[in-house]
Each structure stands twice: as structure tokens, then as C-alpha cells.
């Protein structure tokens, strides 16, 4: 298991993985995060990252906006109807 770099109030996380870990620890109800040009999905302690499409701008950083953006970016070739079924299945599993 990877070790996290020690951080404190005067010391920012040493890398993106640490930053995501601490962000999700502070926002424990969240499953999605938008950071820079990435969208991160947390699934049982694992971070799944996908790139925002070039030039894509996400309106807000709410959980619902981040969730919708993650699924579109991760599965651009899938129809909207199929993607919605995938989202609903993922939500049920997350409970």
C-alpha cells in the first residue's frame, strides 16, 4: 500500500494522489471531484481519474455536475440512455 506524505497546515500535500485523499477525507459524503483538467470518482477508496475533454468547461463543482461530467468523459462512446443506466447501477452499489 502506498504511503502518504506527511502534511500539515503549513505543508500542502506532496502530490495529486495525496491531495485527492485529503480532499475526499474532508468531503466524505462526496464521490466525485473536479480538479484542474481531471474528474475524479472515488469508489471504495480507489480513485478513478479521467481527463476532461479538451475545451470542456464544467458549470460548477457540485456533486451532481462532477458526477455527470465523469460519466460523459469516461464513456463518451456510450449513449446517454446506457450511461444513465450505468450511473443508476453505480449509485445502488455505492450505498
What pLDDT digit, counting tens, does each position of 45-95 carry? 899 999 988 777 776 779 999 999 999 999 999 999 999 999 999 999 987
Distance CA 73, CA 51 (A): 7
pLDDT at 20 over 50: yes
Q: What is the pLDDT of residue 2?
A: 42
Find residue 29's DSSP bridge partners. Answer: none
Assign 3-state DSSP to the chain and report helix, strand, coil percentages, each to 5: 40, 20, 40
pTM for this one? 0.78
Amino acid at each position: 500500500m502506498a504511503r502518504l506524505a506527511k502534511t500539515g497546515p503549513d505543508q500542502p500535500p506532496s502530490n495529486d494522489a495525496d491531495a485527492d485523499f485529503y480532499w475526499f477525507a474532508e468531503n466524505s459524503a462526496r464521490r466525485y471531484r473536479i480538479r484542474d483538467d481531471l474528474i475524479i470518482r472515488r469508489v471504495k477508496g480507489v480513485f478513478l481519474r479521467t481527463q476532461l475533454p479538451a475545451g470542456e468547461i464544467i458549470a460548477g463543482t457540485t456533486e451532481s455536475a462532477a458526477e455527470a461530467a465523469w460519466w460523459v468523459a469516461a464513456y463518451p462512446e456510450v449513449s446517454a440512455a446506457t450511461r444513465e443506466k450505468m450511473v443508476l447501477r453505480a449509485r445502488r452499489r455505492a450505498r
